[in-house]
Amino acid sequence: MMMHRVSKGRVRRWLACGLVLSMTSGLGAEPPGLEVGLAVREITPEVPIRLAGYAGRNRPADRVDHPLVVQAMALRNAADNRFVFVALDNCEVSRAFMEPVLRELARRHEVPPGAVAVVSSHTHSAPVIEATLIDMAQPSADERQRIQQYSGRLRDTLVEVVGAALADLQPAALEYGLGRATFAMNRRVYKGDRVVFGDNPDGPVDWDVPVLRVKGADGATRAIVFGYACHGTSVRSGDDWYVVSGEYMGYARQHLEELHPGTMAIYLTGMGADSDPSPRGLLVHARRHGVELAGAILTVLNGPMRPVRGTMKTAYAEVELPLVDPPGRDRLEADAQSADVHIRQRAQAYLKRLDAGEPLPRAVPLPVSILRFGDDLTFIVMGGEVVVDYARQFKRLLANDNPWPVGYAYEVPCYIPTARLIKEGGYESDSSMIYYGFYGPFQTSVEDKLVSCVTAMATDLRTP
Ligand SMILES: [Zn+2]
């Protein structure tokens, strides 16, 4: 941990963000000397298996459309600071799921906190995993056992793929560009005083398609990293709802790898938790959006891209996001009798804590990191299902830093709404909290807290 280049005033601003867990920096005069390592493992499940992300599904998937993978891209600068993006074909991971994986990675590779960011693609057509929204699916005992087996293998594979990427580190050069795809649709529709799901063409979206080309010492393209800010929910009905698939991002990856043989295409999910693909319904919609996204990326790759030459620097913090006060025992006991199994289970979990003398949740810790390459490119990497207002704010406030917002990173404790969404209510700020096991909503101050923390971290890493 190297803190010597940070002034006192800045450290104080940082501490206002919460717990600063690690910070690395380049040595100033060092040559760029960037190295990149890549690795991929297949993680396609055996069917039948329950799929994650929808409470409405009532049986396991019985078909696989195309393989699921986990990829790792390790980065190292000349000062031996390392950062690993792990792109995972799954809905999301929780802190409890990741804990043993991160412990093992720290033991084997001495990576500091925050240096490994698992970014879930948020495909809603991948298996349910342990300790992650498992009650949303209400699996049977037999289905639970399959989930456990898959989860054990997935944890081992995550450790393995990160190790393989770190072992593959070799000199690399980066190029960055920005494209555009327009299938992300704001999904918050205002009906009287309620917010319901639907297509809202007037609502905010982020249609940017950031693209990073990773080239080897010989100039050949080794990887194409791309992002998009939209749920992996093209498929939501009929028999297709019970098919394993990587969703639109998986199809985009397939097209890119077919057109660029020997190249790894890596998807990093953006901040678009209040966007759904449009149109949507069947696998054909996921394929269609995959074609559009791949086309946008190819346009960027075929045009002039800007070199990313700046020295890599990283910072990582956990921000405490305050919830409103938890309900009293009376309300919890009433909810524990609810006809809705999800409301019942949330109340039962809170009552269990009360009975054990444990404090009820009053805040949610959220991992946030910055991965900065001089003034050329700045990844803003956050946990949770981050809504699009954040992406748009970061792009405005940090316009000169070439920001690339990444959500669903590290772990997903719940949705991360802005003050606007908290005031409006609806799924992302209110009813989704039931599945995540929290009584909410968040206090509206979470927005200021996150935005000031991210901007302070990003600007502190600016090249002086
Ligand atoms: Zn979601």
* DSSP E strand boundaries for 241-335: 243-244, 264-269, 275-277, 306-308, 312-322
**Residue 46: what pLDDT?**
96
Q: Is residue 463 part of a domain?
A: no
Predicted local distance difference test score (pLDDT) of residue 276? 98
Number of domains in the chain: 2
Taking the centre of ligand 1 as the mean of its atom positions, its distance from the CA of residue 386, in whole angstroms, is: 9
Please report the DSSP string for 154-178 in residue order. HHHHHHHHHHHHHHT-EEEEEEEEE
Cβ neighbours for 5, distance < 8 A, ≥ 6 positions apart? 25, 28, 464
Res 6: pLDDT: 39
In a domain, 449, yes or no: no
Query: Same domain, yes or no, for 346 and 387?
Result: no
The pLDDT value recorded for residue 135 is: 81
Residue 443 inside a domain? The answer is: no
Q: What is the distance in A from the centroid of ligand 1 to the CA of 112?
A: 28
Residues 250 and 103 in one domain: yes
Are 333 and 379 found together in one domain? no
Query: What spacing in Å lies between the alpha carbon of 53 and ligand 1's midpoint?
Result: 7
At 30 the pLDDT is: 47
Helix or strand (DSSP H, E) at 191:
strand 188-191
Q: Is 461 domain-assigned?
A: no
For ligand 1, the distance from its centroid to the CA atom of residue 116, given in whole angstroms, is: 22
Q: Are 225 and 289 in a shared domain? A: yes
Same domain flag for 286 and 227: yes
My answer on whether 347 and 370 are in the same domain is: no
Going residue by residue through the chain (464 aa), what tens digit of pLDDT does each one get?
333 333 444 554 565 576 666 777 655 444 568 999 999 999 999 999 999 999 899 999 999 999 999 999 999 999 999 999 999 999 999 999 999 999 999 999 999 889 999 999 999 999 999 989 888 888 899 999 999 999 999 999 999 999 999 999 999 999 999 999 999 999 999 999 999 999 999 999 999 999 999 999 999 999 999 999 999 999 999 999 999 999 999 999 999 999 999 999 999 999 999 999 999 999 999 999 999 999 999 999 999 999 999 999 999 999 999 999 999 999 999 999 999 999 999 999 999 999 999 999 999 999 999 999 999 999 999 999 999 999 999 999 999 999 999 999 999 999 999 999 999 999 999 999 999 999 999 999 999 999 999 999 999 998 77
Shared-domain flag, residues 374 and 308? yes
Is residue 432, in this structure, part of any structural domain at all?
no
Asked, for residue 429, whether it belongs to a domain, the answer is no
Is residue 459, in this structure, part of any structural domain at all? no
- Please indicate, yes or no, whether residues 349 and 377 belong to a single structural domain of this protein: no
What confidence score (pLDDT) does residue 4 get? 32
Are 311 and 341 in a shared domain? no
Going from the Cα of 122 to the center of ligand 1, the distance in angstroms, rounded, reads: 7
d(CA 223, CA 211): 10
231 CA distance to ligand 1 centroid (A)? 6
The confidence score (pLDDT) of residue 18 equals 65
pLDDT at 25: 60
Q: How far is it, in rounded angstroms, from Cα 136 to Cα 435?
A: 6
Based on the fold, state whether residues 83 and 64 are members of the same structural domain: yes
CA 305 to ligand 1 centroid distance, Å: 32
Whole domain around residue 86: which residue ranges? 26-320+365-418
- For residue 14, how far is its CA from the centre of ligand 1 (angstroms)? 29
| 286 is a domain residue | yes
Distance 417 CA to ligand 1 centre (A): 12
User: Does 249 share its domain with 347?
Assistant: no
- Same domain (yes/no): 281, 344: no
- How far away, in angstroms, is 217 Cα from ligand 1 center? 39
